[in-house]
Structure 1
Amino acid sequence: MSQPVPPPPVPRRHPQSPRPVPAGIAAFGALLGVRGPDRARFAELGELLMVGDPLMDDFVAWMRTRESTPIRRQFDQALRHGIDSVDAPPAPLKTLFDELETVPDWVDARQLEVAAAAMRAAGADGLTIARDVALLGGYQFAGFNQTLLRTGALEKGSNARFAETSQWAMDVISPGGLAKFGAGYRSTIRVRFIHSMVRRHVSALPDWDEQEWGLPINQTDMAATLVGSLVAPNLGGFGIGIVHRPSEYQAIAALTRYVGHLMGVRDDLLPTSFRSAVAILQHTSSALATPDETSMRLARPMADDPLQWQYRHFAPLRRRVARSQHLSVSTAFLGPKAMATLGLPTRTPPWYPALALPGNLARSGIALLPGGRAWTAGRGDRQARALMRTMTETPATIGATTTVAEHVT
């Protein structure tokens, strides 16, 4: 008689029961009828802390046994022009790109464009929510932080790190960005490649405790990052008056699903509707929201980043105002308890959300008019790019803030 297959090991970082999730996520979950993860789902999220990205990991493992420079040239050629443009591609490269270039039947190009336009319309305030709520709040997930700190995060700085993340997101939502070989398609696959390199590097470090932390950049972490980057800012947008049509929220879920597919996230962790996207956000948060001392180490420098931003006029004053603005957003959405956990001021009045609300509501109304969405998308894109130039004079490069990536890309 065959012996039963033992369940996969579950790292110690996985809590015994679901953790409390941020109030905003819980509120939206309740509004949409989303419940917390059941016992089976919660256990699965623990098991997936040990699962990486087999397709890309196999390619990277093979590449590391060869001279990498010519392979990287072929990789870049396939990324920009397709595997058929590569002369005599090696079998592992062809296997990888045959999979990447196969667009699933469920992808609707029109939905991707609808979602991208709605997300561009969020403009600088959309980036602000992504920075001050999604990214900063994510530092309460200690498991993420352990990998991040081993890739040179503190040395490179949070400002450059957020600029790089923002550049990836802007590539994804650019017009035609997710078309085959488009800017978002290329950036997402580059991020996937870098994730695999980091996974391989960090897991081999002598101070990496797999029994404690699991596999670096695992499936549960990737799913949480995906919905945290693309879905959570759209939830936060409600709080400052950025409101979309119901059909646009469904399109945002469809865009998130395809980006996750390109990123190497398992199908059962990808949203099929906006409600399921909120469920994934809530369930992964309940499995990962465990802060530790690394939360403060990463959050505190980020709070002061606006003091270094590039303003042409009245720079000292505008930097202080920008710091207060971003702290006001974090305090309003994360709450004093989370701010204390992150080692940040807890009493900043939520003045910026109140100030931004009327204008954003007005623009949300304009988007309903004929030609309105195109106007708000164009305006928002210009605003976001202006904020990017303010944050850093040097254009962000995908992978540039990861020390490991500097040696392999």
Structure 2
Amino acid sequence: MNAPVQPHAHAQPLPRRHGADLSTGRRMAGPLRWLIRGDPTPSPAQWQAVGESLLQGDPAADALVAWMGEVGMATSKPLFDRAACDGIGQLDAPPAPLRQFFATVETVPAWVDPVRLDAGARACGLSGLTGMRVLRDFGLMAGYQAAAINRTLVMTGALSKGAQKRVAETTKWWIDCTRPGGMAVGAPGYVSTLQVRLIHALVRRHLVARPDWDSTAHGLPINQGDMHATYLAFSVIFLMGQRLLGVPITAAEGADVMHLWRYIGWLMGVDDRWLHHDEQSGRIALYHNLLAQAPPDATSRELGRALMDEPLGRHYQRFGWLQGRFNRARHLSIARTFLGRAGMRALGLPPTVLPWYPVLTTAPRWLLMQLLRQLPGGAERLSQHGLNAQAAYLPVLFGGDDPRLRDAVGVEAVPSVEQ
């Protein structure tokens, strides 16, 4: 494989993390070449753009948070919450910074098709819990190999929060976003996404002011490149992983999922240039992003081992000890399928685990789903059953807690935001 061509000497200096270990980047990105037409090696301009994305934040949200810090969170956060839920028009004389932010997010892009958003949401439910396992074991677990992204988790204390809680909160947000109608203005997915965007801006403001944040090495906290990687995990990796596990998602369904996540990414603050309307362009972008990632380090192993044991902390109604250990083994076998031995070692996971679960279930799953799809209304019934199964699993993740994103997006996570 050819290395990406280096940019000209006069180009903008890039953070040291950019392309810091091309051999590891090639290992992670290599399998994508089988799914990409032509040579995906980035051009000098593309390589420079990926690097520069590590220096770019979310100007609209960053400006809003600067104002919130000036007037105080006790005053500004309730106004933000009400505008997110009810619309900026429901506030009497809203402050200009708040009005400007919501004027932007409430102006839905012309390319957004509500019918396709709902179709993409139904496609996210086709495989039920299999899709959730892909996100956990291929998106989240594999993503821990990118050590530079992990640094934000470490510096905000997210490691001490516990993997089980983080998985539960991320799953709740994903379910909010992937229900039909969930991304309409004021709907749960829309509100949750704006809350997550706010906490990203708060964390960015907090970390960049810390003396131990090295911008020359890491760029900006929660930058466009890292947000782009997260968006690709929920769209491109989600679709690719399901198909590898035997879920027969059609090209049209995949396009609808991409459409849904293009809008979610836009609402999250990802710049238009990093959003993709089809899987092929998304795969190429993922290839470029993976090449540029910093290699795994000790935080990768700490996060990986914590996520490995996450199933043991779920709130099963019966046979908890047995279910916890079975789910731990199942998730490890799925991770082994996607990561390979080298990836398992990089994350501190046992490399001798065999991919027994995908081997035993992929072909039967494909055959059964193909059969059910041939029946009248079969795809619709599969989708509804899967959506119900995903929502029904939330009590297992949250237990007796209220399954909301209170802790995930609460401003208490960034105590010095007003300093």
Contact preservation (8 Å) 2:85, 2:191: yes
Match of 1:43 among 38, 45, 48: 48
Shift, 1:186, TM fit: 1.0
Q: 1:388 to 1:354 in 2, by over 3 A?
A: farther
Give me the whole-angstrom Cα distance separating, in 1, the residues matched to 2:370 and 2:314: 29
Contact preservation (8 Å) 2:128, 2:389: yes
Shift, 1:243, TM fit: 1.8
* Helix, strand or coil at the partner of 1:319: helix
Query: Match of 2:365, as an amino acid?
Result: G
Contact preservation (8 Å) 2:65, 2:202: yes
Give me the whole-angstrom Cα distance separating, in 2, the residues matched to 1:90 and 1:402: 22
Match of 1:29 among 9, 15, 35: 35
Shift, 1:291, TM fit: 1.2
Give me the whole-angstrom Cα distance separating, in 1, the residues matched to 2:274 and 2:129: 29
Contact preservation (8 Å) 1:56, 1:196: yes
* Helix, strand or coil at the partner of 2:71: coil
Query: In structure 1, what is the equivalent of residue 382 of structure 2?
Result: 376
- Mean Cα displacement is larger for which, 385-394 or 266-275? 385-394
Query: In structure 1, what is the equivalent of residue 338 of structure 2?
Result: 333
Shift, 1:345, TM fit: 0.5
**Is 1:204 aligned with 2:209?**
yes
Shift, 1:402, TM fit: 6.7
Shift, 1:383, TM fit: 2.0
Query: In structure 2, what is the equivalent of residue 13 of structure 1?
Result: 17
Query: CA offsets, 1:250-291, max 9 Å, x none?
Result: 111111211111011111110021211212222111111521
Match of 2:254 among 249, 264, 267: 249
Q: How does 1:143-292 map to 2 (within 5 A)?
A: 143-292=148-297
Query: Match of 1:182, as an amino acid?
Result: A
Give me the whole-angstrom Cα distance separating, in 2, the residues matched to 1:386 and 1:46: 41
Query: Match of 1:22, as an amino acid?
Result: M
Contact preservation (8 Å) 1:152, 1:401: no
Match of 2:306 among 288, 301, 309: 301
Query: CA offsets, 1:139-188, max 9 Å, x none?
Result: 01011100111122111111111111111111111120111211111111
Query: Match of 1:390, as an amino acid?
Result: V
Shift, 1:404, TM fit: 5.8
Shift, 1:313, TM fit: 2.4
- Mean Cα displacement is larger for which, 227-236 or 52-61? 227-236
Query: Match of 1:400, as an amino acid?
Result: D
Q: How does 1:44-123 map to 2 (within 5 A)?
A: 44-123=49-128
Count the aligned residue pairs: 404
Query: In structure 2, what is the equivalent of residue 3 of structure 1?
Result: none
Task: List runs of 5+ in structure 1 lacking aligned partners.
Answer: 1-5
Give me the whole-angstrom Cα distance separating, in 2, the residues matched to 1:126 and 1:62: 39
Match of 2:369 among 342, 363, 367: 363
Contact preservation (8 Å) 1:198, 1:404: no
Q: 1:103 to 1:138 in 2, by over 3 A?
A: same
- Mean Cα displacement is larger for which, 17-26 or 328-337? 17-26
Query: In structure 1, what is the equivalent of residue 142 of structure 2?
Result: 137
Contact preservation (8 Å) 1:50, 1:214: yes
Query: Match of 2:12, as an amino acid?
Result: P
Shift, 1:391, TM fit: 2.7
Give me the whole-angstrom Cα distance separating, in 2, the residues matched to 1:365 and 1:258: 32
Match of 1:128 among 125, 133, 144: 133
Contact preservation (8 Å) 1:141, 1:295: yes
Query: In structure 1, what is the equivalent of residue 396 of structure 2?
Result: 390
Shift, 1:401, TM fit: 4.1
RMSD: 2.1
Q: 1:17 to 1:132 in 2, by over 3 A?
A: closer
Shift, 1:69, TM fit: 2.0
Task: Using structure 1 for the length normalisation, give the TM-score.
Answer: 0.93
Query: Match of 2:270, as an amino acid?
Result: V
Give me the whole-angstrom Cα distance separating, in 2, the residues matched to 1:402 and 1:248: 31
Contact preservation (8 Å) 2:20, 2:294: no
Identical aligned residues as a percent: 39
Contact preservation (8 Å) 1:124, 1:384: yes
Contact preservation (8 Å) 1:75, 1:93: yes
Shift, 1:362, TM fit: 1.5
Q: 1:364 to 1:204 in 2, by over 3 A?
A: farther
Query: Match of 1:359, as an amino acid?
Result: R
Query: CA offsets, 1:113-157, max 9 Å, x none?
Result: 111101112211111111111100000101110011112211111
Task: Using structure 2 for the length normalisation, give the TM-score.
Answer: 0.91
Contact preservation (8 Å) 2:373, 2:379: yes
Contact preservation (8 Å) 2:126, 2:383: yes
Contact preservation (8 Å) 1:399, 1:405: no
Task: List runs of 5+ in structure 2 lacking aligned partners.
Answer: 1-9
